[in-house]
Amino acid sequence: MLTIPNPAKPDVKVGKDESENEVLKKIGEPTKFKFTPKDHLELGEALNIIDMQRAAKISGARFDFLINEAALLEFSLKQLAFDVLLKEGFTPVIPPVLIKKEIMDDLGYTQMGEEENIFSLDKDGLYLIGTSEQSIVSMFKDEVLRKEDLPKRFVGFSTCFRREAGSYGKDMKGIFRVHQFDKVEMVSFVEEGQDDKEHEYLLSLEEKFFQMLEIPYQVVRICTGDLGFNAARKYDLEVWIPSQNKYREVTSTSTVTDFQSRRLNMRYQDGQNKKYLSVLNGTAFSMNRPIIAILENYQEKDGSVRIPEVLQKYMGGLKKIARK
């Protein structure tokens, strides 16, 4: 039973792989320059805000130092997300980044070869999380919530870890695909039959963040062949990356229906009946990727980078990152 994936929702396209994902809409026009744009790593190294060489020296490939304004950019993005989501009624949480192996099994992250992407501490029987939803979703294991307390919405901030197995040779340059990164994650627990509405709500919040940053993006609905083990429907939000001349994924949001709540025994009391919770997750910011998008879309001919207006107040009024 543990090897059977969550069935896809009826509106999810049957497709073999990512080539058959559906682009639902595009917002904003791809950024145009009157000069040849640099990629984020070239910009970051010249501005002394990204250092991968020293990170490789002490940690190996696919690690990085975010320094100076890049570190400030991360914390400004985190604060923007928290400011918006707290006003929406989300509960803030900083979760543990180590969870038990059996919890990861119940969540559906260790079946169908997905265990290859998880860092494990075999001596302790613990896994490092790849996203904070893995800890937050599991909070209510073996509990019965009250219907009147639903929906429950959380915004979590944590460091995340991924092996990126199978991705060697892909996105090797720069900080797009690394082993360690920080993330602001949204998690919702709703009653039966409400997850479709909640899924659209989480997607709208993801869109709001990139509209506030004024970065061009597109929304993609993932087909069955690219859906993953525990999701019943998944939307990706992809932003325009000028150096690659294409859109790349920066956030996603999924409904897992009652797939995880059945395995974790998470229910709510509805009159005389106990029903399984519907669970959803969505990324606000997976930090390295919006930083990449900002550096590349806001770059100037002289190699400096403008700070998006919405973030300037979190960076002490700084309007531009320039060479020292």
- Catalytic positions, please? 162, 177, 249, 252, 289
Residue by residue, pLDDT tens for the chain (324 residues) are 778 999 999 999 999 999 999 999 999 999 999 999 999 999 999 999 999 999 999 999 999 999 999 999 999 999 999 999 999 999 999 999 999 999 999 999 988 667 888 999 999 999 999 999 999 999 999 999 999 999 999 999 999 999 987 666 677 789 999 999 999 999 999 999 999 999 999 999 999 999 999 999 999 999 999 998 999 999 999 999 999 999 999 999 999 999 999 999 999 999 999 999 999 999 999 999 999 999 999 999 999 999 999 999 999 999 999 987
Q: 37, 77, 30: which is closest to 216 by C-alpha?
A: 30
Q: Is the pTM of this model over 0.75?
A: yes
CATH number of the domain located at residue range(s) 18-301 in this protein: 3.30.930.10
List phi, psi (to 5°) of 99: -135, 160
Nearby residues of 208 by Cβ (< 8 Å), 6 or more positions away? 84
DSSP string, 234-278: EEEEEEEEGGGTEEEEEEEEEE-TTHHHHHHT-EEEETTEEEEPE
CA torsion through residues 267, 99, 184, 29, sign: negative
How far apart CA 269 and CA 143 sit, in angstroms, is 10
Q: Terminal CA-to-CA distance of the chain, rounded, Å?
A: 58
**Spatial distance between the Cα atoms of 241 and 147, rounded to a whole number of angstroms:** 43
If you search the block for the tokens 């219907």, which residue do you land on?
Answer: 147
